[in-house]
Amino acid sequence: MSLFDVYPLYDVTPIKAQDVWVYDATPTKYLDLYGGHAVISIGHAHPKYVENLTKQLGDIGFYSNAVKNPLQVALGEKLPLQANCPGYQLFMCSSGAEANENALKMASFVTGRKKVVAFHNSFHGRTSAAVAATDNPKIVAPINAQQEVEFLPLGDLDALAAVLAKGDVCAVIVEFIQGVGGLDISTAEFYEGVDKLCKETGTCLIADEVQAGFGRTGNFFAFQEYNVEPELISMAKGMGNGFPVGGILIHPSIKAEYGMLGTTFGGNHLACTAALTVLEVLEEEDLMAHALRVSDHFKAKTTEIPQIKAVKGRGLMLGIEFDFDTAALRKKLIYDQHIFTGSAKNKNLIRILPPLTVQNEHIDQFFEALKIELNNL
Ligand SMILES: Cc1ncc(COP(=O)(O)O)c(C=O)c1O
């Protein structure tokens, strides 16, 4: 084995994918309720996506950020408008961790401070400051541990007030729906309280929308369920429907300086075309409203299964919780029922993160399969 063996792999080899379906060479057809970890937003191989990216590749795929790129300018105009974040400025990079790394760096530049507050069960990525703000000591190397991060219980406003009162925190970083942790959501009072405390203490609020953003929850961003105004919004996953693209939206009050941020690949022509096409299809196919309708159907179906103890999340960022470890059940769903689902840090939870084009009939197929496999356990 010459690959550095860090991924425990399922024995499935996809060679083709279309909308909510993934195919191997046998050919077996798998229903994708995982979206390659919440990445597939407008569906695998969407015809418009294939056409636009193919054409762009034939024209120009990449040039550096040393020259003008009208596609980046177009995205910088369209994204804040469509996301209802008027005036926010776009900086592009290539992954979720990089987006959070840049957001944390910006918060530190803006405030002149270096301490970060994150929450229990958070996941923000695997790079320097992002992994230090991730509540999983197993993936934090000694070199990352030098970052000053305080983890607080999600929902504990008093604890947050006490920490922020010291005036040395540059950023509070929060997933408004926890992804890898297990789909937990706190209250509106908590999230709006976090925003208020940040504003009172000159601390930047970073909304980590890497997994929840780009329409997955039925809002463009999950924080938009509440009355909050983050200084920084990080994005990736659904933004490119599989093309590696990430970015941050930066509050209009924050002024750019040359050299503050930078990257070679961020915002290249293909990445911009991917993100622009995702925005176009989200709008044309009204996928955010569709996500909410399918989500309602999904939630209604869960009432047919008494073994489900809780349904978590919003829109098409969902979790179903059982009172046992679901690893064996997920394996059976893949190998016997040919359905991909996701796991979480909470072992009793199955994560559902399908392409936003998923239909009620696919959800019905999942619940029929789930009933069969629960009986077989
Ligand atoms: C909320 C959140 N933030 C950041 C990341 C890191 O993104 P990436 O794996 O693209 O670096 C993830 C990945 O799962 C995530 O779910």
Q: What tens digit of pLDDT does each residue of 161-216 get?
A: 999 999 999 999 999 999 999 999 999 999 999 999 999 999 999 999 999 999 99
DSSP one-letter code for 153:
-
Q: Which residue has the tokens 């601390």?
A: 203
Question: Are residues 280 and 311 located together in one domain of the fold?
Answer: no
* 220 is a domain residue: yes
Task: Give the pLDDT score at 190.
Answer: 98
* 193 is a domain residue: yes
Question: Residue 377's pLDDT band (boundaries 50, 70, 90)?
Answer: confident
Question: Residue 138's pLDDT band (boundaries 50, 70, 90)?
Answer: very high
Ligand 1 atom showing the smallest separation from residue 130 Cα: 4
Say if CB 133 and CB 124 are below 8 A apart. yes
- Look up residue 149 and give its two tokens: 């991060």
CA atoms of 218 and 314, how far apart (whole Å): 7
Which residue from 211, 235, 239, 241 has its CB within 8 A of the most atoms of ligand 1, so it is best to mutate? 211
Q: Which residue has the tokens 């196919």?
A: 285
Q: What separation in Å is there between the alpha carbon of 125 and the centre of ligand 1?
A: 5
Q: Which residues line ligand 1 (CB under 6 A)?
A: 95-97, 100, 123-125, 175, 179-180, 208, 210-211, 236
Which residue, by CA, sits nearest to atom 4 of ligand 1? 124
Q: What separation in Å is there between the alpha carbon of 155 and the centre of ligand 1?
A: 22
Q: Is the pLDDT of residue 48 over 80?
A: yes
The number of residues in the chain equals 377
CA atoms of 76 and 146, how far apart (whole Å): 34
Q: What separation in Å is there between the alpha carbon of 123 and the centre of ligand 1?
A: 7
Q: What separation in Å is there between the alpha carbon of 93 and the centre of ligand 1?
A: 13
Q: What separation in Å is there between the alpha carbon of 306 and the centre of ligand 1?
A: 32
Q: What separation in Å is there between the alpha carbon of 250 and the centre of ligand 1?
A: 19
Give how far Cα 16 sits from Cα of 26, 33, 169, Å.
11, 16, 47
Q: How many domains does the chain have?
A: 2
CA atoms of 248 and 254, how far apart (whole Å): 12
In the sheet that 169-174 helps form, which strands lie side by side, from edge to edge?
A: 89-93, 246-250, 232-235, 204-208, 169-174, 115-119, 149-152
Q: What separation in Å is there between the alpha carbon of 376 and the centre of ligand 1?
A: 34
CA atoms of 270 and 276, how far apart (whole Å): 10
Question: Are residues 65 and 78 located together in one domain of the fold?
Answer: yes
| Helix (H), strand (E) at residue 105 | helix 96-111
Question: Are residues 184 and 160 located together in one domain of the fold?
Answer: yes
Question: Are residues 322 and 237 located together in one domain of the fold?
Answer: no
Strand 149-152 versus strand 115-119 pairing type = parallel
- What CATH number is attached to the domain comprising 69? 3.40.640.10
Q: Within the chain, how many helices (H) and strands (E) appear?
A: 11, 14
Phi first, then psi: give them for residue 182, nearest 5 degrees: 135, 35
- Quick one: average pLDDT of 243-259? 98
Burial class of residue 148 in the structure, from the number of CB atoms within 10 Å of its CB (0-12 exposed, 13-18 middle, 19+ buried): middle
| Helix (H), strand (E) at residue 362 | helix 360-376
Question: Are residues 99 and 241 located together in one domain of the fold?
Answer: yes
- Look up residue 96 and give its two tokens: 């979720």
* 176 is a domain residue: yes
End-to-end CA distance of the chain: 34
Model pLDDT for residues 5-44, shown as the tens digit of each residue: 999 999 999 999 999 999 999 999 999 999 999 999 999 9
Question: Are residues 129 and 263 located together in one domain of the fold?
Answer: yes
Q: What separation in Å is there between the alpha carbon of 210 and the centre of ligand 1?
A: 6
Question: Are residues 82 and 159 located together in one domain of the fold?
Answer: yes
CA atoms of 42 and 366, how far apart (whole Å): 20
* 21 is a domain residue: no
Question: Are residues 137 and 167 located together in one domain of the fold?
Answer: yes
* 6 is a domain residue: no
| Residues 6 or more apart whose Cβ sits within 8 Å of residue 247 | 90, 91, 92, 93, 99, 234, 235, 236, 239, 266, 267, 275
Question: Residue 362's pLDDT band (boundaries 50, 70, 90)?
Answer: very high
Ligand 1 atom showing the smallest separation from residue 246 Cα: 10
Task: Give the pLDDT score at 269.
Answer: 98
Which residue from 210, 241, 351 has its CB within 8 A of the most atoms of ligand 1, so it is best to mutate? 210
* 20 is a domain residue: no
Q: What separation in Å is there between the alpha carbon of 206 and the centre of ligand 1?
A: 14
- Look up residue 196 and give its two tokens: 């208020």
Q: Is the pLDDT of residue 292 over 90?
A: yes
pTM of the model: 0.98
Ligand 1 atom showing the smallest separation from residue 175 Cα: 1
Q: What is the 3-state secondary structure (H, E, C) of 3-27?
A: CCCCCCCCCCCCCEEEECEEECCCC
Which residue from 101, 123, 144, 185 has its CB within 8 A of the most atoms of ligand 1, so it is best to mutate? 123
- What CATH number is attached to the domain comprising 313? 3.90.1150.10
Say if CB 106 and CB 248 are below 8 A apart. yes
The three-class DSSP label of residue 132 is helix
Question: Are residues 218 and 340 located together in one domain of the fold?
Answer: no
| Domain boundaries, position 342 | 28-46+286-357+368-376
Rounded (10°) angle between helices 269-284 and 47-59: 160
Single out the residue in 266, 284, 302 at which a domain terminates.
284
Give how far Cα 104 sits from Cα of 97, 123, 132, 148, 174, Å.
10, 14, 11, 12, 12
Q: Is the pLDDT of residue 1 over 80?
A: no
* 179 is a domain residue: yes
| Residues 6 or more apart whose Cβ sits within 8 Å of residue 370 | 305, 333
Q: Nearest 10 degrees: CA dihedral of 44, 48, 53, 59?
A: 170
Ligand 1 atom showing the smallest separation from residue 127 Cα: 11
Question: Are residues 133 and 94 located together in one domain of the fold?
Answer: yes
Which residue, by CA, sits nearest to atom 3 of ligand 1? 124
Single out the residue in 259, 284, 309 at which a domain terminates.
284
| Residues 6 or more apart whose Cβ sits within 8 Å of residue 187 | 155
Say if CB 242 and CB 211 are below 8 A apart. no
- Quick one: average pLDDT of 251-277? 98
Question: Are residues 199 and 318 located together in one domain of the fold?
Answer: no
Model pLDDT for residues 88-114, shown as the tens digit of each residue: 999 999 999 999 999 999 999 999 999
Q: If you average pLDDT over every residue of the chain, what do you get?
A: 97
* 52 is a domain residue: no
Question: Are residues 345 and 218 located together in one domain of the fold?
Answer: no
Q: What is the 3-state secondary structure (H, E, C) of 265-304?
A: CCCCHHHHHHHHHHHHHHHHCCHHHHHHHHHHHHHHHHCC
- Quick one: average pLDDT of 346-352? 97
Ligand 1 atom showing the smallest separation from residue 244 Cα: 10
Single out the residue in 242, 265, 284 at which a domain terminates.
284
